[in-house]
Amino acid sequence: MADHLFDLLTTTPIDTFTALQSPANVVRWLMLAGKSDTQRTCQLTVQNPVFQKEMNSINLLGKFVEQEQLIQTYEALISDWLKS
C-alpha cells in the first residue's frame, strides 16, 4: 500500500514519506513487538527499494506489527518530527 501511495505522490521525497516508518524502525518494531503469523507475512512485489527492504524484513522474520501496537511510538515520533 505504501509503495502504491508513494508512486501517486510524485513530488514527495522518499525521506519525507518514510520519516516515521523507516526501514530501521520497521526492523526494530518487528524485533521488539512482532507477532508471528505466516498467513500475514507473504512476500509481495513492491517497486521502491526502501519498501522492498521493509518487505524483506517482514518476510525474513515472519512477523508483523499491528499499527495499534505503535500508537504511543507514533505519537512521540510525530511530535519530534513536527518540532524539526
The pLDDT > 70 percentage for the chain reads 94
Distance CA 80, CA 84 (A): 7
CB-based contacts of 37, cutoff 8 Å, min separation 6:
63, 64
pTM of the model: 0.80
pLDDT digits (tens, 9 = 90+) for 68-82: 999 999 999 999 999
Residue 82 CA: distances (Å) to CA of 19, 29, 75, 78: 11, 21, 11, 6
Q: Where are the domains of the chain?
A: 2-83
Distance CA 58, CA 21 (A): 13
pLDDT given at position 47:
87
